[in-house]
Amino acid sequence: MNISQLKNSITTIVNSDASKSQKLQAICDFLKNEISYYDWVGFYFKNGDKNELKLAEFAGEPTEHTIIPFGKGICGQVAVSNQNFVVPDVSAQDNYISCGWKVKSEIVIPIFVNGNNVGQIDIDSHTVNPFSKNDEELLEFVCLKVADIY
């Protein structure tokens, strides 16, 4: 994983003339295509004034989890904790929402705008324990860039 090249590509996407939705979709598509163990990449954002997340752009198999209550599953827990959550093996998690039998691990990084958690990027992998500090660094960078266009 060449983090510098990946960050440069993300910056290029964010700085393009595309709409916010097109940029978010391009980020999802790019990450899924560039990183072999990113099998599903999506953004969830706070759903108005409700204590729930709503699925926005994503790349990968469709999911029935388009609305996630705060506190439920990995994404819902990140909405409450405001902390990165790396799950090496989803089968070891009590509070996990299964998006499919192929998913073995997950990483969720929150997006902050003016100190408020407005959403997150969610990555599912069909590989057990593939995520490293490099993934966290890259995805934290992605979230900073997404905050600029939110």
> Does pTM surpass 0.85?
yes
Residue-wise pLDDT for 82-114, tens only, equals: 999 999 999 888 777 776 779 999 999 999 999
Domain count, the chain: 1
**Which CATH number does the domain housing residue 77 bear?**
3.30.450.40
List the domain range (segments joined by +) for residue 141: 3-149
Residue 125 clears pLDDT 80, i.e. is over it: yes
Q: What's phi and psi for 43, nearest 5 deg? A: -115, 135
